[in-house]
Amino acid sequence: MSVESLSIPQTFTLKRVSVAETTRKTSWVPLKSLKADTLRSRGFSARSTLNVENGGFRQYPHGVGEKDGVIIVDHGSRRKESNLMLNEFVNIFKEKTGYPIVEPAHMELAEPSIRDAFGLCIQQGANRVIVSPFFLFPGRHWHQDIPSLTADAAKEYPGVSYIITAPLGLHELLVV
């Protein structure tokens, strides 16, 4: 496993990790390559994403498309009521954005898992999966756990690429 650092101005340091056993190349890319203004207007406030694909980096200049699946992943809870709130958020997100393939996932403690949601996206026709952590700030779950769980899920679908967006982060609309 090789690790490199990439410094992004006015944000934080991200690490690029190439995991040999999955034969996938991983790279941090600026969200600009995904039409940041479009994504931000559709609910993505992240400034960077993790792009992973068999064969290496690939840019998607048109933002989120019809064949993209979106997984919104939270931590997960032992409280059923807390987990149901993610389902409500996903329904609102899907309605507001018009994205056809959007699935909820819990990192741990509850179902559906990232693996389950990834499979559901593929069943609905996704050829790329965008995993969007429903977290405010970057931490171990975003940096380590979610990429690892997503890589494990993606192993079953070698022709499908995925990206992991940064967490919600600081945005003025969070305090309105």
Q: How far apart are CA 73 and CA 90, in angstroms?
A: 10
- The stretches of 30-129 forming alpha helices (DSSP H) are 36-41, 80-97, 114-123
Residue 115, amino acid = R
Q: How far apart are CA 64 and CA 47, in angstroms?
A: 15
Active-site residue list: 75
Q: Name the percent of the chain in helix, strand, coil, to the closest 5.
A: 35, 30, 40
CA dihedral 151, 157, 160, 163 (to 10 degrees): -20
